Structure 1
């Protein structure tokens, strides 16, 4: 199965869930195909072939 993660194409196994891709939700936001997914829903969110996943990490500083 193929995903596009932060603009990069990557091959992963079928049935991958968001928690497999991003196991720790602290300081992280994830959108799948343009829709933000709540961290509480990551374990139930199965990814599909050609999904576009954006993972954004918060950083301190200014």
Structure 2
């Protein structure tokens, strides 16, 4: 199965949740980020249960400070 994260393709297992993707595949800290799947924001509470599907397009946005 393949998904796209910020316009980069990733092969993943069939049973990968959003939380697993962030921790195990992308290895990024979950503090201060937002995730959209197919242009729909997914709340942080849903990340452990929301399983990814083949062809999903994720956008991961990291909050930054400054002005």
TM-score exceeds 0.5: yes
Q: Distance in 2 between matches of 1:22 and 1:28?
A: 10
Alignment correspondent of 1:22 = 22
Q: Distance in 1 between matches of 2:38 and 2:15?
A: 17
Alignment correspondent of 1:10 = 10
* Structure 1 unmatched runs, 5+: none
Structure 1 residue 53 corresponds to structure 2 residue 22: no
Once the two structures are superposed, residues 3-43 of structure 1 have per-residue CA deviations (whole angstroms, 9 ceiling, x without a partner) of 01001111111111000112443200000011000000100
**What's the TM-score, normalizing by structure 1?**
0.91
Deviant stretches of 4+, over 4 Å: none
**What's the TM-score, normalizing by structure 2?**
0.85
* Structure 2 unmatched runs, 5+: 24-28
Q: Distance in 2 between matches of 1:13 and 1:52?
A: 16
SS of equivalent to 1:54: strand
Structure 1 residue 33 corresponds to structure 2 residue 38: yes
Q: How many residues align?
A: 62
